[in-house]
Structure 1
Amino acid sequence: MTISEVLDPSDICQEEVSRRLVAAAYALIAERYVLDRHQIGAAVLDINGGVHLGLHLDAMVGRAAVCAEAVALGTARMTTTAPLVAVAAVRFPKPTEDGSARIVPPCGLCRELLLDHAPDMQAVLTIGAAARLVPLTRLLPDKYVGTKWPSVSR
């Protein structure tokens, strides 16, 4: 399968917001995919409609890798102070895999990080044959609350 044959998964999104975010994340990873370097693209939406992109940065030492959602969060914070409301991530298939690009949920670390910075954020998830926005707190109902920052009300 060539890069041009990989399908955009935004057609399974139920809401316009999720379709827009997934299409943006897909376009980024379809353009920047590099085997064993960049496999996931992410898009974060701010309350004003701005879309901020991030690319997965793999590393020789796995622990040093940075998730696309974290990069998108950093990109958003470099350009706006507006509240962040939604996130989507798309994984591009390796050449040895059958299938097309697919929507992936944020990993556990990204769930914690995103909720630290956007306690009301939603994530695009595939549920059955469709994708839709789901509150990130549903994926991480008992988020860690430390003493570093004042409590954020939900």
Structure 2
Amino acid sequence: MTLNLSEECTNEFEFDCKEVAFQVMNAVLDSENCPYEATVDLTLTTDSEIHEINLQQRGIDRATDVLSFPMTQFPVPGEFDFLEEEGMDSFDPDSGELMLGDIVISVDHVNAQAAEYGHSQLREFAFLVAHSMYHLIGYDHMTEPEAKIMEQKQKDILNLLHINRD
């Protein structure tokens, strides 16, 4: 797993965000039996910057906690078999790694939501990474059944890593 981290703002986290993101990402890929080495770009930014990205990319005029930009469209969430025949463009020609996509997280939202929900910054950050990783491999939460599946998967990953609500 390759994690390219870009910090476009100062964060005051009391944990190593790259290490936590790496652990969460690997746990998600292992839980989904991903047969490939993968690469993800993670950007930590401010509310104002994520607001601008959200407006430009999605036409939504507000800040949000996390944005996910998948490189590959998965016909079936978490199913990697199709990549053997159809997904050659999904692999980095130099490293051979599966390019999953980009994650953008607002540090401002991590802090605010941790306080609002009464848990640690670590738990909120790990949750947002897990949430976004599931988006990168095709999961969504647009319908109630999809949301239940995704919520359970996120919960299972955080429990596996012992990153629970305080």
Task: Give the TM bin, normalised by the shorter chain.
Answer: under 0.3
**Larger strand proportion of the pair:** 1
TM-score by length of 1: 0.27
TM-score by length of 2: 0.26
